[in-house]
Amino acid sequence: VQLVESGGGLVQPGGSLRLSCAASGYTDCMAWFRQAPGKELEGVGALDRWGGSRVYADSVKGRFTISLENANAKKTVYLQMDSLRPEDTAMYYCAADRYCLGTSLLLTVQEYTEWGQGTQVTVS
């Protein structure tokens, strides 16, 4: 599985960005994680294979929306980020797994075996 992210950039506080992650190959659950300098990798949002179950970190609930598009046997996961804050500044990574264990684990690093290269988001 190959994951290719895009959509990062520099935005002012209160602004919006949309990240995209295109997956080649079969995937089950998918997620977005982020890592700020000096901090641990944090699960931001995740969804199951069909996009029916979605979970979010408390820090982004009501501001970020994760969604799924299936077209021509290709899956793309989006992260719409609104009302951005300086503390949202981080490298954002797309993650996927071919067999997911359950909703309760969707925001855990251990759930995922496939990772993208990351895209930088800076809110300033």
104 confidence band (pLDDT: 50, 70, 90): confident
Instruction: Please give the structure tokens belonging to residue 58.
Output: 């408390």
- Pick from 23, 53, 57, 27: which is nearest to 40 by CA? 57
Residue 51: predicted pLDDT: 86
Place of tokens 């949309």: 18
Higher-confidence position of 101 and 39: 39
Query: Per residue in 48-82, pLDDT tens?
Result: 988 889 999 999 999 999 999 987 778 999 999 99
Residue 71, phi then psi, degrees to nearest 5: -145, 125
For the chain, give the percent of residues with pLDDT over 70: 100
Q: Tell how strand 42-47 and strand 54-56 pair up.
A: antiparallel
Residue 26 amino acid letter: Y
Pairwise CA distance, residues 51 & 79, whole Å: 13
